[in-house]
Structure 1
Amino acid sequence: MSEKPVIGITKPTRGDFFAYAAIWLAVKRAGGRPMKLTAKHPKTDQWISGLVLGGGADIYPELYEGQPRQAASYDRDRDEMEKFWARRAHDERLPVLGICRGAQLLNVVNGGTLYENINDVFETEYPSSLPGHMFYRKAIDIMEGSLLARITGDTSRVVNSIHKQAVNRPGDGLKVTAKEKNGLIQAIEDPECAYYLGVQFHPEFLIYRKGDQKIFDALVNAATERDAQRREAIGDARPPSPPDSARSLQ
């Protein structure tokens, strides 16, 4: 019996327990072994088979040509930890899913930019209260033939809205594959990778729907397949050791 693939899940060192628990559950349901990654415990010396970059506080604006705001709260240590893991995932072709902030981080790491406040740019009616975040839904259009469309089986879906920022200019090699009616980007992908997906919505809070759970199922399946191919190529049943570059944050 083959080992379940280890899926790293990033979160703040403190807080966001509910969001992490929801992603943890989605990964477990998909057959993966969740592993928590934080700035305090980045676990860069350990091997993972796939990566989920979770949601949370705004990314530090100077990382994408933006201007820091005095009233904003940033987590610079988390930024550095997630940059390391995102680059390693891309270099090693690990399956990677970015959720909300995580999608924005994938875009920034690839040289893209963000809208610091979508309300300054788009006509929106997004909620700001906790009940609004929980129950508000909006429609998005998904590009036919995209990874997201193949996973969900849909070219249009209704998703949640728990964000103040969004992708502006897509990063190098990234393709926009879902948008709202107002043009706001809801998904980005790297077509050169088997699974490299960023979604602006939070599928972990929607896993009671098959299409959203399938996002995590496909991630774990891609990680399982990649592990099998790697073992076959090196003739070893064990997971490969992490590279030396993974032993310290750069």
Structure 2
Amino acid sequence: MAEGARRPLIAVTGPRRGGRAPRFFVALALRLAGGRPLQVGPGRSAWPAGIRGLIVTGGHDVEPVLYAEAPEVMGRYDKERDAFESFMIDEALARDLPILGICRGAQLLNVRLGGNLFQELRSRRRRTSNQRTVLPLKTLLVEEGTQLHRLLGRERTHINSLHNQGIDRLGPGLAVSGRDLDGIVQAVEAPGHDFRLGVQWHPEFLFYSGRQRRLFRALVAAARRRAA
């Protein structure tokens, strides 16, 4: 089997500057899963040759103009990154490639499919903490019968939380596969597609967990099928 099929090339997006820790751990998780990461960011104007899957990493807030709304809070925006990752997601969707959106990546995937976001979550939390931490201190309730449920193998688990925005209205074709104890969306997926998943937590920082590594293995397996 050719290396491109055996160890498929996965694009990993990020900002022009910063974001080193998430991308490092995503690349590590991908290598452990049998994939080959290719780090890409703003400044690239063409789709990279040989890509068989896409991971959009976490970071800056998604600017509300992308879903035709006015800013409600003072966010941390990166227009250049928004434009680049929008291009990458749109191309991956058009090519029907496997996609994993992490935190901001899940939000932007939802936006590119026609959904919108809550610009802040603090006022919507009653049973969960606003604490931002890489430790798995938040409870995830997984919807039965979803791809996420099949991957994690349980209806309740613990995740970390580093976001202050969240998914509101779903983009067409997406379904909720996980929520927290406040009912805030924590995971979405696209039924009928091999692998199109967005998660609000950071599985790359939980790579020591076999269950979390399954997300990356499933992405690589789907990319392998595309390469073949």
Smaller-chain TM-score bracket: over 0.9
Instruction: Identify the residue that residue 50 of structure 1 maps to in structure 2.
Output: 53
Could you say which residue in structure 2 is the equivalent of 1:74? Answer: 77
Q: Does 2:151 align with 1:147?
A: no
Alignment partner for residue 30 of structure 1, among 9, 28, 33? 33
SS, match of residue 23 in structure 1:
helix
Tell whether 2:206 aligns with 1:203.
Answer: no
TM-score, with length taken from structure 1: 0.86
1:111 is matched with 114
Q: Secondary structure at the match of 1:150?
A: helix
Q: Report if aligned partners of 1:127, 1:136 keep a CA contact under 8 Å in 2.
A: no
Change (3 A) 1:219 1:45: closer
Contact 2:135 2:159 in 1 (8 A): no
Unaligned runs of 5+ in 1: 229-250
Q: CA deviation at 1:70?
A: 7.5
Structure 1 residue 66 displacement after superposition: 2.7
Q: CA deviation at 1:107?
A: 0.4
Please say which of residues 4-13 and 43-52 is displaced more in the overlay: 43-52
Instruction: Provide the C-alpha distance between the structure 2 equivalents of 1:63 and 1:205, rounded to a whole number of angstroms.
Output: 28
Of the three residues 7, 20, 24, the one matched with 2:10 is: 7
User: What per-residue deviation string (whole Å, max 9, x for no partner) do you get for residues 152-175 of structure 1?
Assistant: 212211000111010001111110
Q: Percent identity?
A: 39
What secondary structure sits across from 2:172 in the alignment?
coil
Amino acid at match of 1:122: R
Tell me the distance in 1 between the aligned counterparts of 2:197 and 2:175: 10
RMSD, aligned α-carbons: 1.5
Larger CA Rg, structure 1 vs 2: 1
1:76 maps to a residue whose letter is K
Of 128, 131, 135, the match for 1:127: 131
Partner letter of residue 88 of structure 2?
W
Q: Select between 37-46 and 56-65 the one with higher mean Cα deviation.
A: 37-46
Instruction: Give the equivalent residue in structure 2 for 1:164.
Output: 164
Instruction: Mark the runs of 5 or more structure 2 residues left unpaired by the alignment.
Output: none
| CA distance 1:118–1:71, shift in 2 (3 Å) | closer
Q: Is the 8 A contact 1:138 1:158 kept in 2?
A: yes
For residues 43 and 21 of structure 1, do their structure 2 counterparts lie closer, same or farther at Cα, with a shift above 3 Å needed?
farther
Aligned residue in 1 for 2:216: 216
Q: Which structure shows the bigger proportion of residues in strand conformation?
A: 2
Question: Using the alignment, how far apart are the partners of 2:84 and 2:150 within structure 1?
Answer: 31
Separation in 2, partners of 1:125, 1:33: 36
Q: How many residues matched?
A: 224
Amino acid at match of 1:200: Q
